Structure 1
Amino acid sequence: MLQSLIFDMDGTLFQTDKILELSLDDTFNHLRALNQWDTGTPIDKYREIMGKVWEALLPIHSDEMRKYTDDYFLKSLVENIRKGKGALYPNVKEVFSYLKENNCSIYIASNGLREYLEAIVDHYDLNNWVTETFSIQQIQTLDKGELVKTIIKKYDIKYAAVVGDRLSDINAAKDNGLMAVGCNFDFAQEAELAQADVVIDDLKELKTIVSNINSSLSI
């Protein structure tokens, strides 16, 4: 029986696009007010370089100003979530309810920061279904495979799947001997999804996947 599903957050459960541009605009408007920026908001560049974002977007600024900007951006993201300006992907709660009804535990493993993840979980009442949410901040290596391993060890999980939209999610599954479910959503890339065990276009497809797996194992 498929014991657990471990979900990514951004681009898998939460439609990050809904608040990304809005929060980036808030942040760069603030920089303009501080006379630290005088052109348009670099949203396209942000999409290209998610990772070491502020070094790339603010190449001539000090590390102190980059840290200040990053903190402000996080604050803006959280405020926009709490104002209801974001959204879950379709069918998240329907799928979560189905999984719980079928004795499948749910976890979240995300590269997002704790405060950001807590804002999403709280606003959408995801703790009604999710056993625990894990942030990459909880491990020193910042490796998603290690984060998933932490969940497996803590909850003694034997058979599970990782559900996510990026290669880091797929690799996290494979590194731990789990099934990798790739989500063909907003941030997904075809070459990365090709490495998943199965690819879905809608979260509701998980209901069929879980049902088929559990039926085959019960035979």
Structure 2
Amino acid sequence: MENTATLTKPVAMIFDMDGTLFQTETLLLPAYHQLFDILREEGHYEGETPDEELMLGCLGMLLDDIWKKVIPNGTPAAHRRADELLLLLELEGLNNEAAVLYPEVKETLEELHRRGVRLFIASNGLEHYVKGIAKARGIMPLFEGIYSAGEHGTASKVDLVRLLLEQHNIQDAWMVGDRSSDVEAGKENGQTVIGCQYAGFGGKQELKGSDVIIQSFSQLLKHYDQTMPSR
């Protein structure tokens, strides 16, 4: 998996947000518990808060699909309220310095930007959440485009990445992410996939099909430097 002999330097890199750039649990888990406290108070939910691992295991999925797993017996109104509360609580939580990017993410992105790589984000999250993280953590100016399922209404990350590639006329990119949906999005669109294994949210087969797997974000620069220029 570490062999980069067949890789070529990309024109662009497309990054997932949660579990790739951003340590999601540092923001999500406090908001998650507050969310269920409010749902109980408002009569939308009864019983104990579902295990944190259930929510963390759903990262990378569309919100509609997340709530079907986390609150399977919830009403449509409860799911809509959960959407609203999660966004509100997470945006508030961005003011907390404990909600952080992974180590060396900002520095690595800055170096790639200096080298002329076109940088993008493609996330299944809500628009204000994804852009809110990029803005709050000072990486927004590094990206040429930030794409989210919430903004574009795409049914899958495959569709979201396809839209990004078409709108920016990109033929050669690396899709960088930590979930099977990222692998699928890259491969279905004919792109190289760099799997990120440092978050640990998925199982052993989560990144199957990746061209390279990295154990820390800073390794991305090493692989970029070792590749051959594209023809």
Q: Please report the TM-score for the alignment, with normalisation by the length of structure 1.
A: 0.90
**Cα deviation per residue 1:37-84 (whole Å; 9 max; x = unaligned)?**
454321233234555233444444432132112211221111112333
The corresponding residue for 1:188 is 202
Q: Which amino acid aligns with 2:213?
A: V
**Amino acid in the other structure paired with 2:54:** K
- 1:17-96 to 2 correspondence within 5 Å? 17-37=25-45, 39-42=47-50, 43-49=52-58, 51=61, 52-96=65-109
* 1:4–1:40 CA distance, 2 compared to 1 (3 A): same
Is 2:186–2:193's contact at 8 Å kept on the other side of the alignment?
yes
Q: Could you tell me which residue of structure 2 aligns to residue 101 of structure 1?
A: 114
Is the Cα–Cα contact under 8 Å of residues 95 and 204 in structure 1 kept in the other structure?
Answer: yes
- Secondary structure at the aligned position of 2:22 is classed as coil
Distance 2:218 2:28 in 1: 25
Secondary structure of 1:108's counterpart equals: strand
**CA 1:199–1:31 in structure 2 vs 1: closer, same or farther (change >3 Å)?**
same
Deviation at 1:24, TM superposition (A): 0.8
Q: Deviation per CA, 1:128-164, whole angstroms, max 9, x where unpaired?
A: 2111100013444422122111121222212210000
The gaps in structure 2 that reach 5 residues or longer are 1-8
Q: 1:197 aligns with which of 198, 205, 211?
A: 211
Are the counterparts in 2 of residues 152 and 158 from structure 1 also a CA contact under 8 Å? yes
Cα gap change, 1:153/1:37 in structure 2, threshold over 3 Å: closer, same or farther? closer
Question: Structure 1 pair 98/18, CA: closer, same or farther in 2 (3 Å)?
Answer: same
Counterpart in the other structure of 1:210: 224
Larger relative contact order, structure 1 or 2 (CA cutoff 8 Å, min sep 6): 2
1:4 match = 12
Q: Which structure shows the bigger proportion of residues in helix conformation? A: 1
Q: Does 1:172 align with 2:185?
A: yes
Question: Which one-letter code corresponds to 2:29 in the other structure?
Answer: E
Write the letter of the residue equivalent to 2:210.
Answer: A
The alignment yields a C-alpha RMSD, in angstroms, of 2.1
Question: How many residues are aligned here?
Answer: 217
Contact 1:11 1:165 in 2 (8 A): yes
Closer, same or farther in 2 for the Cα pair 1:38/1:97, shift >3 Å?
A: same
Identity of paired residues, percent?
Answer: 29
1:135 corresponds in structure 2 to 148
* Counterparts of 2:169 and 2:74, CA distance in 1: 46
Structure 1: runs of 5+ lacking an equivalent: none
